[in-house]
Amino acid sequence: MVEGLVEEVVGEMAGETALDLYAGVGLFSLPLAKRFGKVTAVESNPSAVHDLQYNAAEHGVEVEAQRMQAEQYLGGLTAAPEVIVADPPRSGLGKNVTKHLARLKAPKLVLVSCDPATLARDLGALTAAGYGLKRMTVVDLFPQTFHVEVVAELGLG
């Protein structure tokens, strides 16, 4: 089931630069690193960053891990990567992160959400900033419960 989620997020993407926000232990960072020249993973939890670095080494891929809040990292960026993947907590991206994403104008955003209500809020802010919803998929990782993951792919224009 998790493989299905990873495939929905990463799919056939490839390029030079990718950014994984709320990266955890590298669920999306590791497959992205096989398809992109440079992958930066941003995660605030020190244990998760340690495990991400271990997982990258075990899988023979290079991922630049940044231990900080997504908002802080995005605030320091002046140029957007080709793709930004974000899998925020249930509370969603929030106003400040969506403002940074709107400012950066990455050509492709892929949002993963476990809460359709906060995803709708974040999508509203991003579509108002010029992004269009290209694809949305529901992935049932927890059968026989009401919990689902939603993958939303956005592009400019």
- Backbone φ and ψ of 62, nearest 5°: -105, 125
Q: List the CATH number of the domain containing 114.
A: 3.40.50.150
85 tagged catalytic: no
Q: What is the pLDDT of residues 91-124, one digit of tens each?
A: 999 999 999 999 999 999 999 999 999 999 999 9
Number of domains making up the chain: 1
- Structure confidence at residue 157 (pLDDT): 73
Highest mean pLDDT pick, 8-12, 79-83, 138-142: 79-83
In the set 114, 118, 121, 155, the catalytic residue is 114
Q: Tokens for 15, please give them.
A: 């390029």
Cβ contact 126:133 at 8 Å: no
Q: Torsion angle, CA of 68/147/151/84, rounded to 10 degrees?
A: 0
* Residue 81, domain extent: 2-156
pTM for the full predicted model: 0.93
- Structure confidence at residue 9 (pLDDT): 72
